[in-house]
Amino acid sequence: MVGNSWNPIILEESTRLLRKTGVKITTCHKDFVALDIDVSCFDNSDTKKEGVSRTYKGYDGYTPIFAYLGQEGYAVNTQLREGKQHCQKGTSEFLEKSIWYSKTIIDKPILVKMDSGNDSIENIKVCIKQEADYIKKGQPSQRKP
């Protein structure tokens, strides 16, 4: 999508603000803080906006991806995506940045939670490289935390 040069500035400032204010971020299991990552279809039917296309939900719109930290759900990363984009396309890079942003806020281990559409070796490699544990939502842990 065109014109997203402002996005990294907003994300960096948001993480800086969360770190500086010392917000409470609740763990989900033992000392692990959840990093939930998922796409969410936006219905933009009957519009002519750039990037609007058929989503997997069967309507025209966008499928942005979001990363939320802790049980409080602090947004640490977001990316607008065309409706037709598969949930895994570009997700490894998004995951790497999301873990990085999360680590600038907290000093606790991270448990990445993603849907089965993102169950890929590329994402597992990112988690291992970034020293984050991972779990497929609704499934038992892939590694022992």
Amino acid 4: pLDDT:
66
At 90, give phi and psi (nearest 5°). 80, 5
- Binned at pLDDT 50, 70 and 90, residue 138 comes out as low
Do the domain assignments include residue 143? no
Summarised one tens digit per residue, pLDDT across range 25-78 is 999 988 999 999 999 999 999 998 988 999 989 999 999 999 999 999 999 999
What are the residues whose beta carbons fall under 8 Å from the beta carbon of 36, sequence distance 6 or more? 67, 68, 73, 113, 114
CA dihedral 96, 99, 102, 104 (to 10 degrees): -70
Q: Which of 127, 123, 107 is nearest to 115 (CA)?
A: 123
Do the domain assignments include residue 141? no
CA distance linking residue 99 with residue 110, whole number of Å: 8
Number of domains in the chain: 1
What is the domain-level CATH number for residue 124?
3.30.420
| Assessment of whether the complete model's pTM goes beyond 0.75 | yes
Do the domain assignments include residue 115? yes
